[in-house]
């Protein structure tokens, strides 16, 4: 019996840990294109406030993880093909590896938009420890940071960079920050909170071109404004990494399509984490990943277990104005009920009969999370 996991991000390593809790003996092989460092990705967007250097975010290297998990880890290794009939994967450095069960935990990649100008390629994005290390190096002498994308990751980085003394401008077409998750009042409250620590906003417009300037860069926006920056970060969202899944011929939509057992469209192949779309939901957050890892570990070790998601609030790390949001199901019908005070905003998405279907809490109102979860 052999389980092969492709990917050593939080999904891959969490799954391996859960498998080891259930079965100390089953053969476990992990394959990763990077160096296999184990680290919590959410820690990248608040490391400055925490006073952490990039290397302090890493909890263990691949060799340590291999020993701890009693597994073989092939680092700097790419899967070049999967033969689902023969139950084997072909790699560029480790030959052909056979599996009884295969798990794709390939994660997601930042979405990149094309920009005009002679410095468009200098726009950074950060989704792993290597990119973060390069980003931190670029910050050494940087005072002015432009962030393209006023979403969750953009706002977390903006808060971290502004709190560490840099001047930050956030650019994006949205009417208010984190507009995909937050109702207007909550988004505006966040915007005010972040403005108070000096963050500037260029919303309702987009960057069109990025050019080198005498010092640093100049971004020209669609509304004609210009933003000067020493470092530029693109944070406009993530898209599931589907290259391998498509090569194998797995069914994909936004992510790799799976059922409640995380099984893909082909036998004995599973998908977990940011790359997976579980019954129509692609949820690139830690809690769904942990819940998925626990269920899948049971399934792979002989006890088929469905993934059942409870209400999973997302905690957004913007200490200048903290946010907790639990989105209502996409098809849910209801209205926002807003209670705003100077210190926080409580937004409840309620059905016609008054049932709470979702919420967004900001500032001091985040304290009400537990009470709201109880009535949902």
Partner 1 sequence: MKKYKCIVCDFIYDEAVGIPDEGIPAGTKWEDIPEDWECPDCGTSKDDFEMVEI
Q: Does 286 bind partner 1 (CB under 8 A)?
A: yes
Q: Which of 93, 107, 131 is nearest to 5 (CA)?
A: 107
CB of 208 to partner 1, least distance (A): 36
Of 5, 19, 30, 43, the one binding partner 1 by CB under 8 A: 43
Of 50, 80, 93, 303, the one binding partner 1 by CB under 8 A: 50
As a whole number of angstroms, the distance between CA 374 and CA 376 comes to 6
Stretch that binds partner 1, among 188-196, 206-214, 308-316, 328-336 (CB under 8 A): 308-316
Residue ranges in 346-375 that form contacts with partner 1 under rule CB under 8 A: 370-371, 374
CB of 229 to partner 1, least distance (A): 28
Pick the closer one to partner 1 by CB: 42 or 173: 42
Q: Does 281 bind partner 1 (CB under 8 A)?
A: no
Q: Are 84 and 177 in contact (CB under 8 A)?
A: no
As a whole number of angstroms, the distance between CA 238 and CA 81 comes to 24
Helices 184-196 and 152-163 meet at what angle, rounded to 10? 20
Site string for partner 1, 210-239 (x = CB under 8 A): ------------------------------
Give the number of other Cβ atoms within 10 Å of residue 165's Cβ. Answer: 9
Q: Are 42 and 48 in contact (CB under 8 A)?
A: no
Q: Three-class SS of residue 264?
A: coil
Pick the closer one to partner 1 by CB: 89 or 297: 297
Pick the closer one to partner 1 by CB: 58 or 222: 58
Q: Which of 296, 274, 277, 293 is nearest to 285 (CA)?
A: 274
Pick the closer one to partner 1 by CB: 317 or 321: 317
E runs forming strands in 292-334: 314-316, 323-326
Pick the closer one to partner 1 by CB: 24 or 137: 24
As a whole number of angstroms, the distance between CA 138 and CA 147 comes to 14
Q: Does 342 bind partner 1 (CB under 8 A)?
A: no
Q: Which of 108, 174, 122, 170 is nearest to 318 (CA)?
A: 170
Q: Does 59 bind partner 1 (CB under 8 A)?
A: yes
Of 72, 139, 203, 287, the one binding partner 1 by CB under 8 A: 287
Q: Does 118 bind partner 1 (CB under 8 A)?
A: no
CB of 159 to partner 1, least distance (A): 13
Residue ranges in 1-40 that form contacts with partner 1 under rule CB under 8 A: 10, 14, 17, 40
> E strand or H helix at 209, and its extent?
strand 207-212
> E strand or H helix at 348, and its extent?
strand 344-350
As a whole number of angstroms, the distance between CA 44 and CA 57 comes to 8
As a whole number of angstroms, the distance between CA 262 and CA 291 comes to 11
Of 222, 315, 340, 376, the one binding partner 1 by CB under 8 A: 315
Binding residues (CB under 8 A) for partner 1: these are 10, 14, 17, 40, 42-43, 46, 50, 59, 285-287, 289-291, 312-313, 315, 317, 370-371, 374
């Amino acid at each position: 019996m052999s389980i092969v996991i492709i990917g050593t991000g939080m999904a891959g390593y969490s799954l391996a840990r859960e498998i080891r809790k259930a079965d100390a003996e089953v053969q476990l092989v992990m394959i990763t294109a990077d160096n296999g460092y184990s680290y919590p990705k959410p820690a990248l967007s608040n490391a400055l406030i925490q006073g952490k250097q990039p290397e302090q975010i890493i909890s263990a290297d691949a060799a340590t993880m291999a020993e701890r998990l009693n597994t073989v880890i092939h680092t700097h290794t790419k899967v070049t093909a999967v033969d689902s009939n023969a139950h084997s994967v072909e790699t560029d450095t480790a030959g052909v590896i056979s599996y009884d069960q295969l798990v794709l935990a390939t994660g997601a990649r930042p979405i990149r938009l094309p920009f005009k100008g002679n410095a468009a390629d200098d726009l950074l994005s950060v989704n792993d420890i290597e990119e973060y290390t390069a980003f931190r190096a670029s910050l050494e002498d940087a005072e002015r940071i432009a962030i393209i994308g006023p979403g969750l990751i953009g706002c977390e980085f903006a808060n971290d960079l502004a709190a560490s003394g840099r001047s930050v401008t956030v650019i994006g077409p949205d009417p208010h920050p984190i507009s995909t998750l937050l109702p207007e009042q909550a988004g505006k409250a966040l915007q005010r909170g972040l403005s108070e620590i000096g963050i500037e906003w260029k919303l309702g417009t987009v960057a069109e071109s990025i050019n080198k300037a005498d010092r640093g860069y100049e971004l020209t926006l669609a509304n004609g404004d210009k933003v000067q920056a020493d470092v530029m970060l693109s944070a406009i969202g993530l898209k599931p990494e589907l290259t391998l899944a498509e090569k194998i011929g797995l069914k994909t939509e936004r992510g790799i399509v799976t059922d409640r057992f995380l099984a893909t469209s082909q036998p004995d192949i599973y998908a977990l984490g940011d790359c997976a779309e579980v019954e129509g939901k692609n949820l690139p957050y830690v809690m769904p990943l942990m819940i998925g890892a626990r269920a899948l570990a049971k399934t792979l070790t002989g006890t088929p277990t469905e993934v059942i998601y409870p209400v999973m609030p997302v905690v957004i790390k913007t200490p200048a104005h903290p946010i907790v949001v639990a989105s209502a199901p996409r098809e849910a019908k209801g209205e926002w009920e807003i209670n705003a005070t100077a210190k926080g905003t409580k937004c409840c998405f309620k059905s016609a009969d008054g049932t709470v279907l979702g919420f967004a809490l900001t500032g001091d109102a985040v304290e009400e999370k537990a009470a709201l979860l109880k009535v949902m």
